[in-house]
Amino acid sequence: MHYTPSEKSGNLTMIIGPSDTNRFFKCDRRNHRSLRFLCSESGAVTVDWVVLTTAVLSLGIAAAAQVGAGAQEVSADTKKCLRIQANLIKKDIPFKKKQKRAARRCRRL
């Protein structure tokens, strides 16, 4: 990464070279605060990025764990309900009674 003076304002502008292919914007000292934060390469900002990234990943993992636990519970209930319906299908009773019994038994889950 190399810096050259900007022609218009005299500010330093980052020139994106072959090693900086992950940059999607032009880093200039006149940029908005958030862009300046993204462009900064000092040690304290690097630590901030590590902390922010860790926090975001931790929240994502926690959310995935909660959704996974809930999905397992719902799938277990669905499996039980399907077994109830399969057992009712084998019985020789009218279809309307089968529906009512299945609805009543599955509602208890």
94 and 72 assigned to the same domain: yes
Between the two ends of the chain, the Cα-to-Cα distance in Å is 62
Which pLDDT score is estimated for 49? 86
How many domains are there within the chain?
2
One domain for residues 20 and 68: no
52, 45 Cβ separation under 8 angstroms? no
Q: What is the mean pLDDT of each run of 10 residues along the chain (109 residues)?
A: 48 49 57 66 79 95 92 91 91 90 87
Domain that holds residue 83: 42-109
pLDDT for the residue numbered 27 = 64
Same domain, yes or no, for 66 and 91?
A: yes
54 in the same domain as 26: no
How confident is the model at residue 82, as a pLDDT? Answer: 92
